Amino acid sequence: MKIDKIEHIKLYTNEIEGHMVLSIVHMDENSKEYENNSFLSSRELKILSQLKHANGKRSYQLGRFAAKKAFQQYGCDKELDKIEIKNGIFEQPYIDQAGNVELSLSHCENVAIAAVYDKCFIAGVDVEKIRIHNYNTLDRILTDKERNMLQSNNIDKYSFVTSLWSIKEALSKCLKTGFTLSPEIMEVSDINLIEYNLYTGAFLNFGQYKYYCAIANGLTWSIVIPKKTSILYKSGGIFFI
């Protein structure tokens, strides 16, 4: 398990200012399971032992490791095995006894991303692998307007449908509903290129939110935040790429 990047981000509006830590971790693609589980609590180890499939075990390990590393960087002085990640009513992850701190988490095959941020803000993150064989399945969650946007954007259709799926996943995490909402309700209203492979836009029915989406290395990365929130990366760079 390797930490690819830790980024401290300033969140702010005209009225309030806050802090976010984003972490990205990955596991070697040839590793079926990470053997050193010293970062898991006793409860988490029990859950891990009950998972039957290698992919499920790997995702669980990656997600917990990314979230705990982000929380430590945020300011928690606990050892990793003393930090516990639990799931809410819609399976949304949260950090137990974390006070005024929120968590958004996503994992895909051998990579995970976690965002830990001040509770006065809202954010959702997601990462998805771009797979050609998933095209027909993901295309079915698009609206006609969204399909029309493909024609006016220089994005290949596989990256396009995966990115819209990822953007909607990130929005559902902001709303804390997961995909209990219809994907059509979370319709993306526009896609605007900021710079190389980095896009931004908004939502037809959730106009109070905006998204940023990056396509890189066969993956699509998304973050959704309230429209009136600004973000400032302390490194001055683009986090995902």
Q: How confident is the model at residue 241 (pLDDT cuts 50, 70, 90)?
A: very low
- Tell me which of 3.40.50.880, 3.30.360.10, 3.30.1330.10, 3.90.470.20 is the CATH number of domain 1-121: 3.90.470.20
| Most confident stretch, 35-39, 49-53, 202-206 | 202-206
pLDDT tens digits for range 62-115? 999 999 999 999 999 999 999 999 999 988 999 999 999 999 999 998 999 999
Domain boundaries along the sequence of the chain: 1-121, 122-228
Q: Work out the pLDDT band at 28, boundaries 50, 70, 90.
A: confident
With 0-12 / 13-18 / 19 or more C-beta atoms within 10 angstroms meaning exposed / middle / buried, residue 136 is exposed
pTM of the model: 0.93
DSSP per position, 2-59: EEEEEEEEEEE-SS-EEEEEEEEEE--TT-SS-S--TTS-HHHHHHHHH--SHHHHHH
Q: How many other C-beta atoms are found inside a 10 Å radius of the C-beta of residue 97?
A: 11
CA 236 → CA 7, 9, 54, 226, distances in Å?
10, 10, 37, 21
CATH of the domain spanning 122-228:
3.90.470.20
Structure confidence at residue 235 (pLDDT): 53
Q: Is the pLDDT of residue 30 over 90?
A: no
Q: What pLDDT digit, counting tens, does each position of 142-167 carry?
A: 999 999 998 888 889 999 999 999 99
Q: Identify which of 142, 108, 101, 149 has the alpha carbon closest to the alpha carbon of residue 125.
A: 108
Dump pLDDT digits (tens) for 171-213.
999 999 888 888 899 999 999 998 888 999 999 999 999 999 9
